[in-house]
Amino acid sequence: MPDISSLSKNKIVFFAVTGVVLLALIIGISMLGSSSSKKPQTKAPSELTVWVVGDESAGFSDIITGFKNRYPDYKNTDVKVTKFGNYVDYEKTLLTVLSDGNSPDIFVVNSSDGGLLESKILAIPSNIIHPDDFSKNFNKVFDDLVIENKEKDTSGADKTVSGIKGVPLGYQALGIFYNWKLVKTVPHLWSEIGGNSDSTTEDIGVQTIDDSRDYADMMLGLDGRYIPGASDILSLFLLQNDVPSYIKLADTNANNAIMRYFSFSGKTSVNTLAHIESTMRDLNLTTVDMFVRGKVAMIIGFPSLLREIEYAIKRAGSENVLSSVSLRTSEIPQISLDPKDAINLGEYNYFALSKTSLNPQAGYSFLAYLATGEAEEKYLQNFPMYLPAQRLREESKMSEAISKDYSRVKYRSFMNSETTLQTFDKGLKNEYDSYFTRVLGNIQKTPKDMLLEAIKYIDCNKKHL
């Protein structure tokens, strides 16, 4: 082997340059391999905004903590939850900011709202939350949140793309709150209401009105302002008469439903009815106020009506006759005793990702966390008036009381697994609710006219919006 002194100067330069080039290539390949073996870092936004209705913002602090623990990439992201007191103000503000392209990242959509806000959201793809897992884990009432769309693939062939609209954390269903001192036997059928006087009849279908009583069994059919949730109670009657949407309000079944609703204002003696109505009108009270005063034996509502009952007890002062022992709940009555015909109204809000969100990856991660049992448990602890969205917690809730102060107000009264739970399509939630709250009890209109004008009113507002 020749020594270095025997090589020419040009050869020495050639070998030196070649060595430097080879060394640079080795270093470059090494760095490339090292960087490719590392996972790409998630770029977490500084802020993620969430809008809700009714639920206090502070109640979400445990959920936010749980989210950051499960997704540490977002530990420094400020998750801001903004609460609106009612759906009217919420929807108006949300539609305004959506039109400006400046909406929150995540907002809630009501199940009865008929698509107004659904057009403003991005579906959650199956790689985030698989629809099969969702259907398996969540109550059947949420099946409407599962969607399938036909799209073209890169070759032009049709393919089915599935996903879900959003994530619910709970729901509400209707039940009866009753005063045990006045109602010894709770009704299973609507036709049984009116037979709760101390004297009993063998044929409950033929009932006489007891003029000696100074209270009503159940007061419906009045002006909607006197009955909290009147539009939802009417929706229940519509569902039980096979009317699932406002667009069917012209059907004969819808007329039968509203006539049944109005019939309950006639199951009380004229004198008693007049006295209760005049008291509510003069003192600006509702049937809930009369319930705690012992003038109405039963009222209908969601579990959250318990809050209104508590407020009414405070307003009544010494006039309150309702004790924690006598306040009880029961399942909603039916038209028939046949179990397959049993129907109850369900309603819920679900969390969805805005189409205009600037943080879709963080938004999808937050929604994925909301779909966990851990998140739902935290939610129900802070908001106990809701029923569990996921099947896993249904059985454990059955025997529990909704409030520690009222041990006989049970979850099971609102969540019978043998009763079909359905949502009602109001077309536009705010317009439907406000219309029937205003028009129910208007003696200048026939029930049929009320229903026909409701369709026109909602459709007109849909075109405007």
Q: pLDDT of 91-106, one tens digit each?
A: 999 999 998 888 999 9
pLDDT (tens digit, 9 = 90+) per residue, 414-428?
999 899 999 999 999
Q: With a cut of 90, say whether residue 375 has pLDDT above it.
A: yes
What mean pLDDT do residues 176-197 have? Answer: 85
Nearest-angstrom CA–CA distance, 216 and 238: 23
Burial of 388 (0-12, 13-18, 19+ CB in 10 A): buried
Question: What's the chain's average pLDDT?
Answer: 87
Most trustworthy range by pLDDT among 189-198, 213-222, 271-280, 348-357: 348-357
Mean pLDDT for 181-208 is: 65
| Average pLDDT over every residue of 74-99 | 95
Domains of the chain: 47-171+348-393 (3.40.190.10), 173-346+400-464 (3.40.190.10)
Query: What is the Cα–Cα distance from 107 to 90, expressed in whole angstroms?
Result: 10
Look at residues 267, 245, 265 and name the one whose alpha carbon lies nearest to residue 254. 245
pLDDT at 72 over 50: yes
- Tokens linked to 263: 């019939």
pLDDT mean over 246-251: 97
Amino acid 193: pLDDT: 86
Q: Is pLDDT of 20 > 50?
A: no
> Average pLDDT in the 320-334 region?
96
Band of pLDDT at residue 264, cut at 50, 70 and 90: confident
How confident is the model at residue 267, as a pLDDT?
Answer: 64
Q: How much of the chain, in percent, has pLDDT values that exceed 90?
A: 70
pLDDT higher for 24 or 113?
Answer: 113
Q: Which residue has the tokens 């369709």?
A: 455
- The answer to whether the Cα torsion of 146, 151, 153, 157 is positive or negative is positive
Which residue(s) pair with 299 in the sheet? 177
Report pLDDT for 441. 77
Higher confidence at residue 261 or residue 12? 261
**pLDDT the model gives residue 213:** 80
Each residue of 125-182: pLDDT tens digit? Answer: 999 999 999 999 999 999 999 998 766 666 767 777 789 999 999 999 999 999 999 9
Judge whether 413 and 443 are in contact, CB under 8 Å. Answer: no
Residue 14: its pLDDT value, please? 47
pLDDT at 12 over 50: no
pLDDT attached to residue 42:
59
Tell me the one-letter amino acid at 141.
V
Position 199 scores a pLDDT of 36
Residues 6 or more apart whose Cβ sits within 8 Å of residue 255: 447, 448, 451
- Residue 7's pLDDT is what? 45
Task: Please answer whether residues 116 and 461 qualify as being in contact, where contact means their C-beta atoms are separated by less than 8 angstroms.
Answer: no
What per-residue confidence (pLDDT) applies to 271? 86
Quick check: 384 pLDDT over 60?
A: yes
Which residues in 221-256 are b (16+ Cβ under 10 Å) and which e?
bbbbebbbbbbbbbbbbbbbbebebbebbeeeebbb
Question: Concatenated DSSP letters for 283-296?
Answer: HT--HHHHHHTTSE
Return the higher-pLDDT residue of 271 and 76: 76
Proportion of the chain above pLDDT 70, given as a percent: 84
